[in-house]
Chains A and B, each alone.
Chain A
Amino acid sequence: MSFGGGAFAGGPVFGGLGGQGGQNLPFAGVPTELQERVDEILATEPDVADEAVDFSQAEYDRRPFTLGRFLAPHWVALLGALGLVVLETITLQAGPLLTKIAIDSGIRARSTQVLFAVAASYVVLIGLSMLISRARIVVTARVGADLMVRLRVRIFAHLQRLSLGFFTEEKSGVLFSRQTSDPVSLAALFQEGLVQLAVQALTLMIVTGLLVALNAWLATIVLLAVVPAMLLMTLWFRSASGPRYLDVRDRIADVLSHLQESLAGVRIVTAFNRRRHNVIEHRNVVGAYREANDATAQVNAVYGPGSEMIGILGQALLFLIGGRMVLRGELTVGDLAAFALYLTAFFAPIQQLVQLYTVYQQGTAAVVKLRELLAEGPTVGERTAAHPLPSIEGEIALENVTFSYQPGTPVLRDVDLRVRPGETFALVGATGSGTSTIAKLVARFYDPDSGVVRIDGQDLREVTFESLRTQLGIVPQEPFLFAGSLRDNVAFARPAATDDEVLAACDAVGIRELVDRLPYGIHTPVHERGVTLSAGERQLLALARAFVAEPRVLVLDEATSNLDLRTEALIEHALDVVLEGRTALIIAHRLATARRADRIATVHDGQIVEIGTHEDLVAQGGRYAEMFATWARHY
């Protein structure tokens, strides 16, 4: 998460690498002896212009992701690169022809002039090829880097559209490698793969043409003996290596997700003495990955040396037939030399193509996986016809809502609920009764199976996500902090918020004291998952985050669970101020929070069993009254 970079300036800044909150952490910098040269390079970097982000929940490219569509927008540059490749290949392949001329017209005709002319044109061609090659490298790198930015942003943006349910089912290690390893494989496919493919294919064509021109009969015989052998081998390689490379990709994803999860839960691993077990587990997934790699080694080891062998056997055949032709006077020695040289030039590309095939396999495997990911549609999506939710009063209504996470086991059944604008409304109920689910439906993390959720009378499915969620402040159960400064985290929903606004929010939730204690105030970096802050402090920060968002409707999902009583009291005081004039839906297991609400609903087994003020419900003597009695006895 980039929070606008240099807010926290201290220590040797590794260029703009900051921004990721990285520069002050170990393992994010460079060795000191390199720092100077790194600084020199970074001094030449222009500021990255703040590009407007073009993002829509509903409108996006739904066509299947293919290599063709991926490359299409750059067709001009690609054609240019192709042109350069053609020129480069032609200048490179003149060598053997010049050798033939030098042998037949120069040496055997005893003409030093021809020799000089040949050498001079050779040098000119070399000069040309250098210039062309230079241009080609720069052009393809530019296009490639451009494609990568687009691809990374596209995958990332697509994941932002997918619904919460998707992230619950998919392992994050897998999604991680979709966004990191796969684009790299595709970049390699483009930068090394496609360009080289063009170079080598063209070389093959030019060389074949030249061989036929030198001696059609000899060319036919030699190529007929060699090409089918190569072709068969390539076909075998193709069918044998494809599944093996797919296997490698699956295995490395396993390795990464095991690693990632071990790091995420490292404290539990340590606390429970699970080190040894996990190390062996990791050894097993890494071992499976190694075996998958070994399987690719097999086919590669057959293919590479095998094709080299065919190449040399081809030379033997050339000497056998061509040599006899020379002896019979049907061919010059110069022709034979050119043939021998071209045959080398003919096999080099084939071997290169094999190397490329690896790149190609990995690249296309990445294309397939990315196509699958990009074809994944949000289950809770924005409709194309969705309109922005106008500025809301804050009336929440659930009408006859039924919902289940897994088909057949409804979590909510026929729930009807109306929260008036400006009202503070608490939902209480046992764990699993469905209270949190109601909050998730109001935030439209999920859509009801039947029934409608409305805000100000508008069906949530008809409005845009952004207009809904910017007017809604949600404090989820788990306070997640992003790497970056405390300021960046608090101003998460509104990065443009001023420092004063951020400080005011900190005041409101009662962490001003904490902020003042930190070495750099609100600019102090907080680390991932906020490990340097206590759970309570993180909860408070999450609340401050919601305050800065200035929502019309606030949804607190048991957000005060990790606070001690004093801090909770502070927050509840702050809530009174902040909730003034706002609608609030509070999921509370703490009845201290619930009883302050204007109205309370008790949820039991997916249904609302009673609604009323605290006093009403206590007087009714129902489920709430019973819960309250138990609770009060213990506080």
Chain B
Amino acid sequence: MRSGLERTLRDLESLADDPSHPLEPVGVESRYDPPRSSIHPDRALSWLRRLWPVVAGHRGIFAVALLASLASLLCGVAVPRVMMAAIDDALTTRTAPLEGFVIAIALLGLIRGGAGFVSRFWLFRVAYAIENDLRVTLYDHLSRMSFSFYDRVQSGQLISRANSDIRTVQMFLTFGPLICLTILSFLAAIGLMLSISVPLTIVAILPLPFVGVLGARLGRLTFPISWIVQSRMADIATTVEENLSGVRVVKAFSAERAQIHAISKAARRLQWINVRQAEVQAAHAPVIESMPRVGMALVLLVGGWLTIEGRLTIGAIVAFTTYVVMLQAPFRMFGFFLMMVQRAAASALRIYEVLDEEPEVRDRGDAHDLTDPRGAVHFQNVTFGYGDAAPVLSGFDLDVPAGETVAVVGRTGCGKSTVARLLARFYDVDGGAVRIDGEDVRDLTLASVRAHVGIVPDEPFLFTTSIRNNIAYAQPDASDEDVIAAARAAGASDFIDRLPEAYDTVVGERGYDLSGGQRQRISIARSLLANPRVLILDDATSAVDVHVEQSIHDALEALLEGRTTIVIAHRLSTIALADRVVLLDSGRVAADGTHGELMRSEPRYAEVLAHLEDDTGARDAPAPEVAP
């Protein structure tokens, strides 16, 4: 798998820190090192094998932990053998002093304790370290994914993978090695038992194959069930997440009852599968756990008879019973272990499924930075559709010379916003090309395109952080002066100054405590601060009232000077910002010219703007002053 190896190397490289990257500034101190490696890219490998590079990143302490575990477990295994010697030699035949054995047992106890501490401490820490790596790697990967990915995937599902599934894998990594070693150390126990008495050992371990068979059966039955369990938990997570995000709608429509009904249904579906899982467990686990004790009964019977015959000692029987008691634990664990493996495997596959998803829009190997662009934009015969849906744009041509402001007008759903998304390369075209300064955006690095192309989206999403941090989102290290200047240009500084903590006010969850217009203004300030060469305003002032819009436009007009700007407009007041207007219809440019020209020559344009004539009282007001 050469290509796989290449990808691992590339991932490793990309996970490394590069704080000096000018296009992707970092305004936060990195307090922890990035993970050393990601999962193995070869999908044909088993889940554990694919996880290995991550584990290998911590192999040093992992090895120490395993060695200490082994030492600790072997000491535990040795104790019954010493006890046997004590009973036989010191108490029965009385050929050796008791004290020597007592000291030996005490020493074994001390070593077991010390080594046990080292082993647990480091095993836990390795598991937490791997959990840490997986979380960071998954987040890193998700942050690279394209819009098309997020169009398809529910974030509830992703959160459940990034949380419950990683935790399940972590659980396995914490206890898995410990259980493996326990099982290994019992091979040592069996060796000791064989050295005491071969027939009694055979009798004692006779029931164990049943344990293995039943355990495997249990695992096979549990695997699909745990899939369903995980997925139903994810459903609950999705319902909860949506309920929190859509709390206003729920309240507005008094849908509390319906929502509770939904969660109750989802919870009962989970309940059913949980009970089902327990039933499968109940049918197998008690038998698995009892089998070793059947061995103990047999040890008493056969061992007792052998002792009466004089072929075995009482000490041996005590040692064997102790061993069989000890063997119970790993066999109980064995069942648990199998379940845990199954769960971890299911979870790991769900994590890999996300990690294996390649970003559709990504840098080509030979991509270069777009440096100091003039900002000429050219859409050349562009065809594009979302997913498998019918194309939104087909044969779309648009040429915007550097420094020009163009308004894109058209009906809802005609593809105006798509034009913006293609220019910022959120999606790649299906046919044709989008060019900046004559260069196909697919030949450029994503970071450089996005650094020079700014977009003010139609929906102003703000983060739950201070207004300052929201405005400085693209430039986290921007000075306060720059932030205030951007806010002023976007007409936001007045209301921000009136807020209790001004720029330090934390925007309420989903911006509830700001109005739509206020959010839009912060969103505009955010884009202005990024200072892009090409700016796209995607209906950016729709919720802003007229007075404020006017003052924003006045400020914008100065700022847009020399910048290439694409304005997606619904209102004449916005169109007024533009040098030129294009009318979008059926996925292509239907008309192109100044507002005045289009009003005269293009009936469809007039139709889109139709109700102006009827409704705005434009007849009473002076004719709109629109740029020539």
Contacts and interface: CB of A to CB of B under 8 A. Distances in A.
B154 A483 contact: yes
B609 A565 contact: yes
A171 interface: yes
Nearest to A311: B109
Given A27-B153, A263-B142, A282-B139, A480 B248 contact: yes
B458 interface: yes
A633 B509 contact: no
B153 to A, nearest CB: 6
Contact of A431 (B87, B517, B539, B616): B517
Interface string A264-305: 111111111111111111111011011001101110111011
A276 B244 CA distance: 28
Contacts of A309: 109-110, 112-114, 116
A589 B544 contact: yes
Given A41-B224, A168-B508, A327-B94, A31 B349 contact: yes
- Among B103, B161, B246: residue with most chain A CB under 10 A: B246
A272 B116 contact: no
Interface in B86-109: 86-87, 90-92, 94, 98-99, 101-103, 105-106, 108-109
Contact of A315 (B109, B129, B543): B109
A149 B266 CA distance: 9
B28 A134 contact: no
B304 A14 contact: no
A293 B170 CA distance: 12
Interface of A, helix, strand, loop or mixed by DSSP: helix
A405 B513 contact: yes
A159 B250 CA distance: 11
B474 A272 contact: yes
A224 interface: no
Contacts of B308: 106-107, 110, 112, 115
B546 interface: yes
A278 B469 CA distance: 13
Interface stretch (B3-11, B189-197, B233-241, B428-436): B233-241
A436 interface: yes
A527 B254 CA distance: 22
Contact of A142 (B72, B241, B275, B307): B275
B143 A159 contact: no
A294 B122 CA distance: 9
A573 to B, nearest CB: 9
A26 B451 CA distance: 31
A119 B300 contact: yes
B322 A341 contact: yes
B500 interface: yes
B321 A277 contact: no
A267 B426 contact: yes
B30 interface: yes
B463 to A, nearest CB: 6
Given A175-B244, A312-B109, A537 B163 contact: no
Contacts of A465: 254
Given A281-B28, A566-B608, A148 B474 contact: no
A274 B516 CA distance: 23
Contacts of A261: 463-464
A116 B474 contact: no
B153 A26 contact: yes
B108 A25 contact: no
Contacts of A21: 154
Given A1-B259, A305-B72, A566-B607, A264 B245 contact: yes
B231 A30 contact: yes
Given A273-B450, A287-B31, A265 B571 contact: no
B296 A95 contact: yes
B515 A260 contact: no
A451 interface: no
Interface stretch (A73-81, A318-326, A363-371): A318-326
- Among B136, B350, B526: residue with most chain A CB under 10 A: B136
B238 A294 contact: no
Given A482-B246, A565-B570, A259 B515 contact: no
Nearest to B86: A319
Contacts of A475: 252
B509 A170 contact: yes
Contacts of A592: 611, 615-616
A456 to B, nearest CB: 18
Contacts of B24: 273-277
Interface string B261-285: 1111111111111111111011101
Given A122-B300, A316-B109, A430 B154 contact: no
A138 interface: yes
B499 to A, nearest CB: 9
A51 interface: yes
B304 A565 contact: no
B238 A305 contact: no
A308 B109 CA distance: 8
A19 interface: yes
B459 A535 contact: yes
A469 B124 contact: no
A1 B618 contact: no
A37 interface: yes
Interface string A110-151: 101001101100110010011101110110111011101100
Contacts of A260: 155, 159, 241
Interface string B19-41: 00101111110111010000000
Interface stretch (A209-217, A237-245, A332-340): A332-340
B371 interface: no
Given A31-B349, A272-B473, A138 B143 contact: no
B295 to A, nearest CB: 10
B381 interface: no
Given A41-B225, A260-B159, A595-B617, A633 B625 contact: yes
13 contacts: A1-B259, A34-B224, A45-B269, A50-B265, A107-B304, A133-B290, A259-B163, A270-B147, A279-B139, A282-B136, A286-B132, A563-B412, A566-B611
7 pairs of A and B residues whose beta carbons are closest in the complex:
A305-B116, A309-B113, A141-B278, A312-B109, A634-B573, A287-B32, A297-B124
